[in-house]
Amino acid sequence: MTTATPAELGYRMPPEWQRHSATWISWPHNAETWPNVLSPAEESMAAAVGALAAGETVRINVLGPEHEAHVRRCLGEAAAGAQVLFHHFPTNDAWCRDHGAIFVLGADGELAALDCGFNAWGGKYPPWDLDDAIPARMADALGVRRFETEMILEGGSVDVNGAGDVLTTEQCLLNPNRNPHLSRVEIERRLQGLLGVRQVLWLGDGILGDDTDGHVDDITRFVSEDTILTVVEPDPADSNHTPLAENLGRLAAMRLADGRPPRIVELPMPEPVELGGVRLPASYANFYIGNDVVLMPAFDQPRDAEAARILQACFPRRRVVPIRATELVIGLGAFHCLTQQVPAAGHALAGAAALA
């Protein structure tokens, strides 16, 4: 048995815009996560699958045969094609970005899966045993090598550019409810060994209402090797203004692994989305980059159009598809949280920026 890290064996996590063989989803089913809105949340996911399936396979975890039949009805014609595949892999909840495998590619393009520990965002939502078992089942279904690590690491807490950099937040990865036995330096070394990155770019806090303790995929994302999209809130009276302004300042002072300063594009926050007076973590940054489309969470407000325009400029070769996410975000996440990309094996990482 080798003790070498994935990086030492030549594996790296490719950026999300590099070609996928599939997008993996765990279908929403937990009524406690989406109280009284599970059905409209499923409608949003059905629209997402329909948009994705035109350009790539969509793999969907379901609870079993009856649940598969239900999801097929939700999907309608989209479920009839060969592009949609079902796996009877029961989950506790639907957040495949966080409980699913994180996929990496070897120097020869060989696909492998990282099986990181999952504890439901610091033990917040027991039980999570079914979710924690999903990476191994995904790897087995694809017949790929699996690297098992005891480090608690959710996919939504990291974002890579494929050129040596990973973005994350102190609020999440330094939180003692994840890996209290690891120091900041040790966490950086683990990320380098798992993801094949050269440096970790640390932001501070995430947005209000985010129960993941500040996942980076709600605030700041790479959209090319040297371009970072980050959300801002210009209203100084808004609770998100100060942490987002601080993050913007950090980004301006950063240098990428190759020494270049990143190009920074600002993305507006939506107007506050609330449920019963409680702020929800609605963010346009929780978009998902498919092969042909970019799924953008929309909230039926004027800022949706501005966000779509900015995203479209970042991804001129893809079609930005705004999909209503108001009900999804009641579950405290949106399209990026609910998806996990499977990179296409055999695709080298060189030149990945050209695919954005």
Dihedral over alpha carbons 62, 67, 69, 71 (to 10 degrees): -60
Please identify which of the residues 116, 172, 314, 337 carries the catalytic annotation.
Answer: 337
List, in sequence order, every residue forming a beta bridge with 342; answer none if it has no partner.
Answer: 22
Closest CA to 337 of 242, 216, 231: 216
Exposure of 237 by Cβ count < 10 A (0-12 exposed, 13-18 middle, 19+ buried)?
exposed
Residues 6+ apart with CB under 8 A from 260: 226
Pairwise CA distance, residues 37 & 59, whole Å: 23
Pairwise CA distance, residues 118 & 15, whole Å: 22
Tally the residues of the chain: 356
For the chain, the straight-line distance linking the first and the last C-alpha, in angstroms and rounded, comes to 38
Confirm whether 172 is a catalytic residue.
no
Closest CA to 223 of 162, 164, 277: 162
Question: Could you list the active site residues?
Answer: 337
